[in-house]
A = this chain, B = another copy of it.
């Protein structure tokens, strides 16, 4: 039996029952538990399911955890968000992406700055509700349970009909050579649409992500106008990005 067959069978089982036990699968497919474990490990790495002790559960099943309160590397992200607010102008029209860094930006928007702000992200939209001078426009669509953002054709189409001054986006991976990449195809499509809808694109990215890459490409580094990390702009870690036509903050 081919590995792919097996993995499909596992995914099928997970989709059907929201959960599986390694031992059950092993018996059904007549392979060792170790093999199933390794399969599940791979599928987890590919974000197709979530591996747990004793088995696996579907991504939606666990989505409670998406409501996480603890933000990883909060301090760095706050620093990035603070720098980003420096780009904002009174009366501007911006887009804020999903992700914890962008959420931090939403949180730190100056309370007296008047803005029109588009977003796909439920948490960002929520955060923006607390800003009396920000007109919030949510771009609707199917909601991704993991990312808590609108995705799909509808969201893409809505994006195609707007043009913002600045978009602030995050990325899963960034590399000076390979550009911005993600492990999720849908997300890549969406980000492309966001970039297209922006006069200028600002990448918010903690330095930890620098020089990493994944499967699907969002855009080249040059498609970004400004890159903001928590580092000082002259930090050596940013050297590789200096050749490109981007501003580093």
Contacts and interface: CB of A to CB of B under 8 A. Distances in A.
Interface of A: 2-5, 8, 11, 18-19, 21, 46-48, 52-55, 57-58, 60-69, 122-123, 125-133, 135-143, 145, 148, 150, 154-155, 158
Contacts of A158: 140, 154
28 contacts: A2-B21, A3-B52, A3-B54, A4-B57, A5-B57, A8-B64, A46-B68, A47-B67, A47-B68, A48-B67, A60-B132, A63-B69, A63-B130, A66-B129, A67-B130, A122-B122, A122-B126, A122-B138, A126-B126, A135-B142, A137-B140, A138-B138, A138-B141, A138-B150, A139-B140, A140-B140, A140-B141, A140-B155
Contact of A47 (B46, B54, B69, B141): B69
A3 B50 CA distance: 13
Nearest to A142: B137
Contacts of A139: 140
A126 B62 CA distance: 10
A68 to B, nearest CB: 8
A2 B136 contact: no
Given A2-B54, A4-B52, 8 more contacts: A2-B53, A11-B64, A63-B130, A125-B143, A126-B148, A132-B145, A138-B141, A140-B150
Given A135-B142, A139-B140, A140-B137, A57 B126 contact: no
Nearest to A150: B138
A4 B61 contact: yes
Contact of A63 (B57, B62, B65, B132): B132
Nearest to A148: B129
Contacts of A60: 131-133
Contacts of A131: 60
A138 B143 contact: yes
